[in-house]
Structure 1
Amino acid sequence: MKTVQTDVAIIGAGSAGLPAYRAAKAAGVSAILIEGGPYGTTCARVGCMPSKLLIAAAEAAHAAARTAPFGVHVDGTIRIDGREVMARVKGERDRFVGFVVESTEGIPEADRLIGYARFIDDGLLQVGDHTQVRARSVVIATGSSPYVPEMYRKLGDRAIVNDDVFAWDDLPRKVAVVGAGVIGLELGQALSRLGVDVTVLGARGRVGPLTDPEVKAYAEKVFADGFRFFARTEVEAVSREGDSVRMRYRTAVGSASGSGQVVEDTFDYVLVAAGRRANVAGLALGNTSLEVGKDGVPVYDPLTLQAGASPVFIAGDVNGVLPLLHEAADEGKAAGTNAARFPDVVPLVRRAPISVVFSDPGVAMVGARFVDLAPGSFVVGEVSFEDLGRSRIMLRNRGLMHVYVDKTTRQFVGAEWIGPDAEHIAHLLAWALQMKLTADAMLEMPFYHPVVEEGVRTALRTAAVALDEVGA
């Protein structure tokens, strides 16, 4: 058994762990990066990149099928070759993963350990069966994994998670997606547009990350027009029948795709997108003095990422705060720096919150969510993309945006919407939020014509009028 000593040990070589290692080294201390699985981040292997590759194929198929209203006719059948679709998804995915692996393997071999880590005590880690690491500080950056409820585990390989989709060699015929969050909506719509018979089943009325009731109701109808989508259902029974899954579910009264029905159907797969859980089960945290929460994650300060008073820091998806790549990278850098400089820790300065669903129309949120704002403290500015000039020109004219402006300061504080080019508009609004601009200052910015960004101006104008009416 080999024993090594280091200033900082980082558990996990993903989107948070890699920046944590680099930050610790930049601070001038020794650091060891520990990884039990294959190199390559969740984003590159089974997250951001392969999902966007599948979505890009779906967008191509959808665009090809919608040319006739422009007077452009594609004569003959549009043929989707599932094997070719998945071959490109996997080929390009492997290329992205290769870049990450190459970068990780560029770290000096002496600073890398292969094996799963567990705590022996507060500052001592066992890595695999070959090495013990004594560390002055530890960064836990082990990420998260899809959660599969017990009722679906009995289905064997017919119950899959998003990771499994990107291992397919061909597209299936029929899929049920359990979960109406970001992953469920993105993959559900993409598979539907690629010719798969898709049913998306939500449980609690969720439509992606949306919390604004009007925007959420609008978005639910948009998605239900494209495929079977029930935002509020109760799955009563599932069973495996050969290579198929038999499912019985009950829809809620008022669902956009139907009301109060008991439905029985058969699917090739059930894609479970019911959330994620922190990867902490194998860390043996019970051997430490750390206080652990109900989710099994050490209780920590979300500003400094420090667990209690100990030199342990929690970064990235494992902490469940904002499971997004750029947030994981920022947290990793902050955790690595604080671990290196412990006990001289400083708070993480977070960027303006931004969240995007790569659907069509896109869904996005910036800044404060509707549900988090104090009633009566803000006004709502609104725009419909249905009659917006550029949206109608492109025949991408479905969408509703709400912007939120503080009544007292007239400062823009957040927005939720569904609409065209949401990913690009989200960046403009996030930059405005981070610069602490008022609605008036934003309206002084240039808006070209005709572009979909003019919708932002319309929403801000309605907010400004509302502010003037209340005497802000």
Structure 2
Amino acid sequence: MRKVKYAIVGAGTSGLTALGEIRKHTDDFVIINGGHYGTTCARVGCMPSKAMIHSANHYHEAKHFADIGINGAQSLSVDVSSVMTRVRGFRDRFTGGIIGSTTENLGDKRIDGYAKFVGEMILEVNGEQIQAERIILATGSSPVIPAPWKSIGEKLLTSDEIFELETLPKRIAVIGLGVIGLELGQSMARLGCEVTGIEMLETVGALSSPEAIEKAKALFGAEMDLHLGVAAQVMPNPENENEVLIKAGDKEIVVDAVLASLGRRPNLASLDLPAGGISVDERGMPTFDVHSAQISDKPIFIAGDLNGYRQILHEAGDEGRMAVYNAMNFPEISRFERKTALGVAFTDPQIGLVGARMSECDEATTAKAVFHLERNNGRAIVNGTDRGTLVLAANKETKQLLGAELFMADAEHLAHMLAWVIQQKMTVMEILRLPFYHPVMEEALQSALRNLAKEVYSDEEMGITAELTRLT
């Protein structure tokens, strides 16, 4: 039996982060990885999708050039196969860089294969048993696929396969309109596909505020055929074996392919945690501390998509740092404050979700304010991006900003600014005392904050100098 001090299982964001730190201090480790190397983001997520979105948005914008005095764009066309080749080129560039810089030249410390527990602190991979003093589990996640849907065979796609297509299907149903489904659905529509979007919830892009949801439904509904609040049944079309039949509520829809975007499930089952003496719940999830990444009181740590907490790259990187720090200092365990929740959908307009969700705020203790971009922000008007809504929430007593939902152009930037001030526990007025230039999109945030200030401050507190910092 091989014995090592550290075993890292999984070579995604969390696992590679842990590897980078451990190898600075020791060569007494192994990293075990089944399947592809490279992060979910670089391989099948953030980066290839952004490359596809980039092409789609450029082509879409060209259709509106005449509105701003640029003629001739009507003769432009899109070569979807070239777009997909470009997407894969970027994907290979990003994943190649990750693999080349982190996992090459590791010799027998790199083990390609799927690990499972066969005893306490004992892993088996490719028939070899490895006993480790500390273990970091970071095997990632896989797309959720309902078993009955597999009856349509290769016509069923997930984000793991969509970027491998040489071209895109003429008609496609995107089932699940969270961030990934919405991004890919809109980009495919802009590249010329007939897109049907289906979502069980009465929302898109994980928005929860009614004001933002209504705007989003209207704008995305103009580009895709939306069916919200309905479950979907997927099956081969009995009238044409080359087609897929979808039943959504009382509607029957025929398409050429389906993109299943129902979320991602942690890759837990193959690890056989109970065989390692680890108790799990009905979902197969062990008890762990999100502030330390530690499983129970064991020298075992769980990070990244595998723990299902926040399946986002920057969170996975932080969890990898937590896990490796505590693994290296065990039995002393440190707990770390989690960063303000931050999520972005790179749609057009973009969606930014920051801090507390609007649907989870207690109405008795929370004040909310809404600001609509239409005709209310000069920069948005001249840029043709005066579409969308900002929704902010603050604690009535502390007056601290709690959360925001943004549906607007360039929400990715304002979402970061808001995450920073929320993490600093700033009050609404403290934020308003920061500079806002003119004419910029940030003025929309200033207007929304002023609306929110009226809800949490008295008229006297909202005096003429309230937004100034008094020296004397």
Fold-level similarity (TM above 0.5): yes
In structure 2, the partner of 1:357 is 345
Q: Residue in 1 aligned with 2:247?
A: 248
- Matches of 2:408 and 2:36, distance apart in 1: 38
Change (3 A) 1:15 1:75: closer
The correspondence of residues 329-408 of structure 1 with structure 2, limited to 5 A, is 329-387=317-375, 388-408=377-397
The Cα of 1:402 is off from its aligned counterpart by 0.7
| Residue of 207, 212, 225 corresponding to 1:210 | 207
Q: 1:232 aligns with which of 229, 233, 251?
A: 229
CA distance in 2, matches of 1:367, 1:297: 25
State the SS of the aligned residue for 1:201: strand
The answer to whether 1:434 aligns with 2:447 is: no
Distance of aligned partners of 1:85 and 1:29 in 2 relative to their CA distance in 1, 3 Å threshold: closer
| Cα RMSD, aligned residues only | 1.7
CA contact (8 A) 1:192 1:198 kept: yes
Paired with 1:344 and 1:26, the residues of 2 have a C-alpha distance of: 20
Aligned counterpart, 2:467: none
Taking the aligned partners of 1:293 and 1:107, their CA distance within structure 2 comes to 39
Structure 2 SS opposite 1:355:
strand
CA contact (8 A) 2:367 2:395 kept: yes
Contact conserved, 1:27 with 1:341, CA < 8 A, in 2? no
Secondary structure at 1:166 match in 2: helix
For 1:281, the equivalent position in structure 2 comes to: 269
- In the superposition, the TM-score normalised over structure 2's length comes to 0.93
Cα contact 1:7–1:29 (8 A) shared by 2: no
Shift of 1:26: 4.6
Cα distance, 1:416–1:470 mapped onto 2, change above 3 Å? farther
> Deviation per CA, 1:115-150, whole angstroms, max 9, x where unpaired?
110101111111112x32110111110000001112
Distance 2:92 2:356 in 1: 36
The verdict on how the C-alpha distance between 1:73 and 1:301 changes in structure 2, with shifts beyond 3 A counting, is same
Q: 214, 219, 225: which is aligned to 2:216?
A: 219
Distance in structure 1 (CA, Å) of the matches to 2:460 and 2:108: 65
- SS at the partner of 1:221? helix
The verdict on how the C-alpha distance between 1:206 and 1:299 changes in structure 2, with shifts beyond 3 A counting, is farther
CA distance in structure 1 between the partners assigned to 2:317 and 2:242 by the alignment: 41
Q: Indicate how the Cα distance of structure 1 residues 28 and 378 shifts in structure 2: closer, same or farther if over 3 A, else same.
A: farther
* Residue 463 (structure 1) aligned with residue 452 (structure 2): yes
CA positional deviation for 1:77 = 2.8
- Given residue 261 of structure 2, which amino acid in structure 1 is its aligned partner? A
CA distance in 1, matches of 2:29, 2:232: 48
Structure 1 residues 386-436: Cα deviation after superposition (integer angstroms, max 9, x where no partner): 121111111111111111111111111110120111011111111111222
User: Cα deviations across residues 424-465 of structure 1 (Å, max 9, x unaligned)?
Assistant: 111111111122211111111111111111000001001111
Instruction: Report if aligned partners of 2:20, 2:102 keep a CA contact under 8 Å in 1.
Output: no
Cα distance per residue 1:264-316 (max 9 Å; x no partner): 22211010001111101211223122111222121212222211122111100
Structure 2 residue aligned with 1:269, among 257, 262, 284? 257
Over 3 Å counting, the alpha-carbon distance change for 1:215 and 1:200 in structure 2 is same
Residues 122, 132 of structure 2: 8 Å contact kept: yes
Please list every run of 5 or more consecutive structure 2 residues that lacks an aligned counterpart in the other structure. 462-472
> How many positions carry a matched residue from both structures?
458
**Residue 2 of structure 2 aligns with which residue?**
4
Contact kept, 8 Å, 1:364 with 1:423, in 2: the verdict is yes
Q: Report if aligned partners of 1:331, 1:348 keep a CA contact under 8 Å in 2.
A: no
C-alpha separation in 2, matches of 1:353 and 1:150: 32
Runs of 4+ in 1 over 6 A off after TM superposition: none
Partner of 2:286: 298
- d(CA) in 2 for partners of 1:246 and 1:410? 52
What is the CA–CA distance in structure 2 between the aligned matches of 1:187 and 1:350, rounded to whole Å?
29
Q: Which 10-residue stretch deviates more, 103-112 or 422-431?
A: 103-112
In the TM superposition, what is the alpha-carbon distance from 1:469 to its structure 2 partner?
A: 4.3
C-alpha offsets along residues 8-63 of structure 1, whole Å, 9 cap, x if unaligned?
21100101111122333456583221111121111111111000001001111111
CA contact (8 A) 1:239 1:245 kept: yes
- Pair 1:171 & 2:168 matched: yes
Measured in 2, the distance between the counterparts of 1:39 and 1:169 equals 22
With over 3 angstroms needed to count, the CA separation of the structure-2 counterparts of 1:76 and 1:382, relative to structure 1, is: closer
Using the alignment, how far apart are the partners of 2:233 and 2:73 within structure 1?
44
Residue type at the aligned position of 1:39: Y
Q: Is the 8 A contact 2:227 2:248 kept in 1?
A: no
Q: CA deviation at 1:7?
A: 1.5
Does the 8 Å contact 2:18/2:321 carry over to 1?
yes
User: Which residue identity lines up with residue 190 of structure 2 in the other structure?
Assistant: R
Secondary structure of 2:457's match? helix
SS of equivalent to 2:222: helix
Match of 1:411 in 2: 400
Do the aligned residues in 2 keep the contact of 1:6 with 1:30 (CA within 8 Å)? yes
One-letter amino acid of the counterpart of residue 176, structure 1: A
The letter for the 1-side match of 2:93 is R
1:38 aligns with: 36
Task: Tell whether 2:436 aligns with 1:447.
Answer: yes
> Is contact 1:175–1:269 with CA below 8 Å preserved after alignment?
yes
CA offsets 1:219-247 (integer angstroms, 9 cap, x no match): 22221122111221232452244222122
Distance 1:325 1:128 in 2: 29
Give the fraction of aligned pairs with identical amino acids, expressed as a percent.
Answer: 37
- Native 8 Å contact 1:22 1:336 kept in 2: no
Change (3 A) 1:235 1:339: same
TM-score w.r.t. length of structure 1: 0.93
Q: Is the 8 A contact 1:382 1:460 kept in 2?
A: no
* Superposition deviation, residue 108 in structure 1: 2.9
Q: What are the ranges of 5 or more consecutive residues in structure 1 without an aligned counterpart?
A: 251-261
Aligned partner letter, 1:406: N
Aligned match of 2:96: 98
Q: CA deviation at 1:107?
A: 5.8
Counterpart residue number, 2:469: none
* SS of equivalent to 1:198: strand
Counterpart of 1:114? 112
Deviation at 1:357, TM superposition (A): 0.3
1:177 and 1:187 map into 2 onto residues whose CA distance is 8
